[in-house]
Structure 1
């Protein structure tokens, strides 16, 4: 039986607080999962108080002074309320996990899944565990350095220890559910009116047509709409017209599938297939990119001189 998301939370809580809801550590992290200000800001419980890091009694810099305002979500209006509210803490950790995963995807760190760093197979749950300890920035430093950079928290616990300890849990369903709900909310806010959305969809159908007069392109690391449009002999406006889901021309995600009108597509086949991963399991700098002196052809790595 696979280890579930609930198993992941149980293990995380045991590691962080011995599953105590009422605990606050010397750095100001709160509750069963030891969350800080930024986690609760993202989860909708706390408002940014505008203060930076300060020294605690032991001379260590901490960000969690909790002198700002609480939003009142789930009746939590103070630090004391939060420490005595199990329901709020369970809600907050789920939002925190979803937000961490969105940040991981935004930095394309999800592409490291399945690679090996210092003998550790990188998994979604392991990345969440590492980001919970040292933030997504710490996770980025660790992965992009191929494990040469190993950030540690104030207690000397390494991000590598968390990536390993919390790896291998099946958290796919909760990530899809949580991130999907967040994505839908953001897409809804991005649309100025329902009428505009419907108009864009009708216009897209008109340009693509019903006879399959289009192809698809999967966004790769380093791609921009300008680059993709030049690759297919199109304008950015033409691509936006048939992809009404794009609300910000400067924000496209690796792995996102775009519709490309085929009537003006250039004759070369560059970029028509999804970005294939290299067969080498150990990361260098960025995964799923050709090694120097190699290129991908039909999903296989080939040498070129």
Structure 2
């Protein structure tokens, strides 16, 4: 019996039972006469389906926004990795917001009030764009040189480079690429340049234009 059939049976039974009580209030209906106890009902529900509520809970490793490999997909996937998409969070090291910016990086982007930044999602989105533009300018030669190559088992793409630069800064990305994977920066939580290169590979970041002095302006 399919799940939908079981649901229909239970629903129909419930309606009939309520109507009977309404039409014959003085009768001595015995609910036990209508029990399904002892019946062999073949639900055919697998163990996976029995845990349906858990199927809707994404975890950090397999979450993929329904935006494909677009730029929006790139920034939402990165934002989820950094903070699970929470604009108002501060981690144990003091990094702020959805994309986990440090105060020094914010200064480079023209943002000097961390509290205002933390409470302004629009500014956080603009900061993400500006930071990507700045990193793309700094890494423009490395993108041209290494894009399409395989380093330490990872195919190098522009989006992977920009994601790794967001994690570790463009200097750490240069060291990884130019050492052919020998210098692999790891942050305080164990995330590495190589891991970000692989996890965020293949997104379309062509809309990001290299800009030397990119600023986040409302």
Which TM bucket (shorter chain)? 0.5 to 0.7
Q: Which has the higher contact order (CA 8 A, sep 6+)?
A: 2
Alignment of 1:112 with 2:109, yes or no, is: no
The corresponding residue for 1:28 is 94
Instruction: Pick the structure with more helix per residue.
Output: 2
Structure 1 CA distance, aligned partners of 2:163 and 2:193? 8
Question: What's the CA shift for 1:144?
Answer: 1.0
Correspondent of 1:95 among 130, 140, 148: 130
Q: Kindly report structure 1 stretches of 4+ aligned residues shifted beyond 2 Å.
A: 182-185
Instruction: Pick the structure with more strand per residue.
Output: 1
Correspondent of 2:109 among 43, 48, 56: 43
Structure 1 unaligned blocks of 5 or more: 46-69, 71-77, 186-305
| Contact kept? 2:129, 2:208, Cα under 8 Å | no
Correspondent of 1:124 among 149, 154, 158: 158
When normalised by structure 1's length, the TM-score is 0.46
Count of residues paired in the alignment: 147
Question: What's the CA shift for 1:161?
Answer: 0.4
Give RMSD over aligned pairs.
Answer: 1.9
Structure 2 CA distance, aligned partners of 1:142 and 1:162? 12
The corresponding residue for 1:80 is 115
Where 1:175 maps in the other structure, the secondary structure is coil
Query: Of the two, which has the highest radius of gyration?
Result: 2
**What does residue range 180-219 of structure 1 map to in structure 2 within 5 Å?**
182=211
Structure 1 CA distance, aligned partners of 2:168 and 2:118? 22
Where 2:139 maps in the other structure, the secondary structure is helix
Structure 2 unaligned blocks of 5 or more: 1-66
When normalised by structure 2's length, the TM-score is 0.63
